[in-house]
Structure 1
């Protein structure tokens, strides 16, 4: 992804997923593409930004904590989470934050 998400006026929530990958693809690229498509279709999804340069950081934006919880429980997303723990990530951290203010140009 190479554009800034067009988010609404705050408040809303950000899920920040920081990760370090293991070597090789092992189906990662296809699953990542599928997760972007699925997340984008979820109620309460507002947008996403993602970068990778050794360290990967993906920030997804959501209307509510309930929308985030629903996405976390999505069946295909749970499969991706299990595969991530088992083979794609050597380390990761998920942080959930409430966005109170935003500005830019």
Structure 2
């Protein structure tokens, strides 16, 4: 996750996960890596970008709202979501957006 995702021409969707962490790792790093591996296997997954300082921001890109729904309901991802609420996050927000335009160098 150390590079800018190579996404297709829009339109596509972005899931923006903004979070504040609790103290300590408590298995977070391993689970975060596993979630990236698992997301990469999901139909409709296009890429991911992540950065963390005091606030973490992870953006995953998807072909459709249906692909996002399927990812949210994936059983291992649901277990990670539960652990996140109990152990890893003091605050978070999830935002879903449709990407209409993209440009860069």
Cα RMSD (Å) of the superposition? 0.4
Deviation at 1:95, TM superposition (A): 0.1
Unaligned runs of 5+ in 2: none
Partner of 2:9: 9
Partner of 2:43: 43
Separation in 1 of the partners of 2:20 and 2:83?
Answer: 14
Deviation at 1:2, TM superposition (A): 1.6
Deviation at 1:54, TM superposition (A): 1.2
Separation in 1 of the partners of 2:27 and 2:76?
Answer: 14
Paired residues, what number?
105
Separation in 2 of the partners of 1:73 and 1:55?
Answer: 25
TM-score (norm 2): 0.99
Separation in 1 of the partners of 2:17 and 2:40?
Answer: 16
Deviation at 1:79, TM superposition (A): 0.3
Separation in 1 of the partners of 2:48 and 2:87?
Answer: 24
TM-score (norm 1): 0.99
Separation in 2 of the partners of 1:8 and 1:37?
Answer: 20
Post-superposition, which runs of at least 4 consecutive aligned residues in structure 1 deviate over 2 A?
Answer: none
Unaligned runs of 5+ in 1: none
Deviation at 1:21, TM superposition (A): 0.3
Separation in 2 of the partners of 1:4 and 1:27?
Answer: 26
Give the secondary structure class of the aligned counterpart of 2:94: strand
